[in-house]
Amino acid sequence: MPMDAYEPTLFELDHKGKGRIWFSEPEGTSPVDELLPQDALRNAPLNFPVVSEPEVVRHFTRLSRRNFSIDSGFYPLGSCTMKYNPKVNDALSQLPGFIGLHPESGQEVSQGTLRLMVEIQQYLADLTGMAGVTLNPCAGAHGEMCGMMLIKAYHDDRGDKRSIVLSPDSSHGTNPASAAMAGYKTIELKSGPDGCVDIEELKNHLNEDVAAVMLTNPNTLGLFEKDILEIQRLAHDAGALLYYDGANLNAIAGIARPGDMGFNVVHFNLHKTFATPHGGGGPGSGPVGVCEKLLPYLPVPIIGEENGTYTITRKSEKSIGQLSTFFGNVGVVLRAYIYMRMLGIEGIRNNSFNAVLNARYMLKQLKDTIPPEIEGDCMHEFVLTLKDHERFGDLNTMAMAKNLLDRGFHAPTVYFPLIVKEAMMIEPTETESKRTLDAFVDAVKEIIEEYKTNPEHVLHAPHQTPVRRLDEVTAARKPELVYAD
C-alpha cells in the first residue's frame, strides 16, 4: 500500500447492517423501553458507520503512518521542546492502580496518587524557587490563565484595581489571549535591537494600572533576558507582578531559578520540559507555581499533607476557584514524576547543558548559511531568517520548511516570533545525537544549493509526503468540517 494512496474515512467504510455484539443482555432486568419513557429515546438510529475491528485497526494504523513523530525523526519545533518521551513513563503511569482510581474515591483510599502529587508539587516548587504549586491546569495556556487569575485575585484583594498586562511583542500568542481570559488588556512592548526587553520601553509603560509583566525567559528568540534583575526591580517598584511563561524552561532548569530572578508566578509545560508525550496536540499539563504572597489564591482542590496523610482540600477562602472537573491531567503529572525521579537534579541540569549545547552547535553550523536574527549566545533555541531576498531569492521560510519535510525532518517553528520576518525557530533539545544535528544542517545546506540549480522543484516542495501543499484558503472560505454522505 503506497503511503500516498487515499485512505477512505470511516464513514466510507460503512457496511451498514448490523454490528457486533459487545455486551450480553444483563439477566434479571427489564428491557429499556419499559424503564425509560419513549419520548426520551432517539427517534432515529444513530448515524454511525458499521465497521469491523480488523478494518478499524487497519484504518488507524494506516493513518498513523501518515504522521511525523518524535520516534520517527528529528522534530526541531522551536518553543515546543519535542524531546524523546521515555517509554517507562507511559508504562508505569498506566498501572491499574492509577488508571482504575475514581476521582471521587476519597483521600483515604487514594494515598498512592496523592503522595506522588504532593511530592511533584514540591519538586517543581524547589526547581523554580516558588513557595507552592498547583497541578490543576491541563496545559500551558490553562496555566497562564490560572496565573493571570491569581494575579488579579491578589491585586483585587488589596483593593488595587489594575487593568493592564505588559508582554513583549515576541511573546507566545497564548500570553495576550490568556491575559484577556482573565479580563486584562495587553500592551505589547516593542523589543529592543538586541532582541531583549527594552528597558526604556518598559519604563514608559509601567504605571499603577499595570497588573503584571509577562515574560518568557529565555525569550522566543532563544536569548536570556540579560536585564532580568533590572526588569524585576522596575516591575515590582510599580506594584506589578512578574509572570514567567515556562515554555522555555528546558534551557535553564536546574541552572537558574525564576524565583531567584524575581518572578512571582511560573507555569510549567510538563509535556515540554518533563518529556511527557504531546499526543498529537495534548493532553499536556500546565502546573503553576507561586511565591508566598500568592499562596492563598491557588485554585481548589488543593492537594497537601497533614501528619503523614495526603489530603484533598476543596475549600479555600481566597482561592480563585476550580479550574478543571477534578484534579487536572493526573496521568500526565505521573509521567513527569517518573521522569524527574529518574533524572534527579543533576540529570535535569544535564538536560539543560545538553539542550543549550545542541542549539549552540547547530547555530554555529548554520549561521553562515542562514543568518540568525540576532547575533549572540543562544540558549536552547535560536531564530534564523530568510528575509534577505537578494541573497535567498524566492526561497522563503515556507519553502525551506517543506523541503525539510521531503528530506525526512520535521520543519522548525516557522513565521514565529512575529517580530522576525521569514523566521525559522529551531529547538533541537538534548535528546538528539550529533549525527542527527549534522544531518539536519547538511539538509538545510543542500536545499540552499538545490535552489540555485533547480528552483522550481524547491519552491514547489514537498514532493515526497503523503499529500502535497494543501489549499488552505478554500478550506477556510468554505469550511468542510464534517463528512457528508
Q: Could you tell me which residues come within 8 angstroms of residue 244 by beta carbon, excluding any fewer than 6 positions away?
A: 128, 215, 216, 217, 258, 261, 263, 265, 266, 267
Q: CB 207 → another protein: shortest distance, Å?
A: 19
Binding flag, residue 2, another protein (CB under 8 A) = no
Binding flag, residue 369, another protein (CB under 8 A) = no
**Please, what's the b/e burial string for 421-455 (b: 16 or more CB within 10 A of its CB; e: otherwise)?**
ebbbbbbbbbbbeeebbebbbebbeebbeebeeee
Q: CB 206 → another protein: shortest distance, Å?
A: 19
Look up residue 190 and give its DSSP letter.
P
- Scan residues 219-258 and list those touching another protein (CB under 8 A): 223-224, 226, 228-229, 252, 254-257
Binding flag, residue 180, another protein (CB under 8 A) = yes
Task: Look up residue 21 and give its amino acid.
Answer: I
- Scan residues 379-398 and list those touching another protein (CB under 8 A): 379
Binds another protein by CB under 8 A, chosen from 239, 304, 376, 393:
376
- Scan residues 44-103 and list those touching another protein (CB under 8 A): 45-51, 53, 56-57, 59-61, 63-72, 75, 77, 80, 82-86, 88, 90, 92-93, 95-103
Cβ proximity to another protein, 78 vs 238, nearer residue: 78
Binding flag, residue 9, another protein (CB under 8 A) = yes
> Of 208-216, 235-243, 343-351, 389-397, which part binds another protein (CB under 8 A)?
343-351
* C-alpha separations of 120 from 7, 25, 204, 270, 336 in Å: 43, 45, 40, 11, 8
Binds another protein by CB under 8 A, chosen from 199, 293, 326, 449:
326
> Is the alpha carbon torsion for 411, 412, 415, 420 positive or negative?
negative
Q: CB 179 → another protein: shortest distance, Å?
A: 7
**Please, what's the b/e burial string for 271-288 (b: 16 or more CB within 10 A of its CB; e: otherwise)?**
bbbbbbbbeeeebbbbbb
Cβ proximity to another protein, 200 vs 326, nearer residue: 326
Cβ proximity to another protein, 116 vs 448, nearer residue: 116
- Scan residues 122-161 and list those touching another protein (CB under 8 A): 123, 126-127, 129, 138-142, 144-145, 148-149, 152
Binds another protein by CB under 8 A, chosen from 132, 168, 195, 277:
277
Binding flag, residue 318, another protein (CB under 8 A) = no
Q: CB 221 → another protein: shortest distance, Å?
A: 12
Q: How far apart are alpha carbons 134 and 265 in whole angstroms? A: 11
Task: Please report how the helices 434-453 and 397-406 are oriented relative to each other, as an axis angle in degrees rounded to 10.
Answer: 120
The DSSP line for 124-188 is HHHHHT-SEEE---SSHHHHHHHHHHHHHHHHHHTT----EEEEETTS-THHHHHHHHTTPEEEE
Q: How far apart are alpha carbons 85 and 91 in whole angstroms? A: 11
> Of 25-33, 290-298, 366-374, 442-450, which part binds another protein (CB under 8 A)?
25-33
Q: How far apart are alpha carbons 252 and 268 in whole angstroms? A: 13
Cell numbers that stand for 350 in this block: 544535564
> Of 2-10, 290-298, 382-390, 444-452, which part binds another protein (CB under 8 A)?
2-10
Secondary structure E strands in 331-459: 382-385, 413-414, 423-426
Cβ proximity to another protein, 62 vs 389, nearer residue: 62
Binding flag, residue 468, another protein (CB under 8 A) = yes
Cβ proximity to another protein, 4 vs 388, nearer residue: 4
Q: How many residues make contact with another protein (CB under 8 A)?
A: 200
Would you call 384 helix, strand, or coil by DSSP?
Answer: strand
- Scan residues 399-438 and list those touching another protein (CB under 8 A): 401-402, 405, 410-411, 413, 416, 430-434
Q: How open is the CA angle 265-267-273, to the nearest 5 degrees?
A: 140
